[in-house]
Amino acid sequence: MILRAAMQRFGSHNLIRNSFIIYLALCMADQQKNNPLHGITLEKIVTDLQAHYGWEQLGSLIRIDCFNNNQSIKSSLNFLRRMPWARKKVEDLFLDTFHK
């Protein structure tokens, strides 16, 4: 969206477009440099937590159905991708467990 607006304003000149893309990439990299979860996939987070705690303890720590009933990485990922509040709880537990 930002790139499209810039292209409409400046035209589709390659130099301007490429410079703008590089600028956006650098801005995004600055935003992520202090994020301890940067580069860690949700699948790795869930897999590591499940291996560390097991489904039963994970389900008691975070009371969501995918950890208590339909216990699989795939169902957990589907649920967590749709529910930001649950994903936040899982990410917080991951940070508390592995990044002290």
Q: 7 or 53, which is more confident?
A: 53
Which residues, including other chains, have CB under 8 Å from residue 74's CB and lie 6 or more apart? none
Confidence of residue 3 (pLDDT cuts 50, 70, 90): low
CB contact at 8 A, 94 and 48: yes
pLDDT of 1 > 60? The answer is no
- The predicted-structure confidence for 16-67, as pLDDT tens digits, reads as follows 667 777 766 666 555 666 888 888 899 999 999 999 999 999 999 999 988 9
Q: 21 or 72, which is more confident?
A: 72
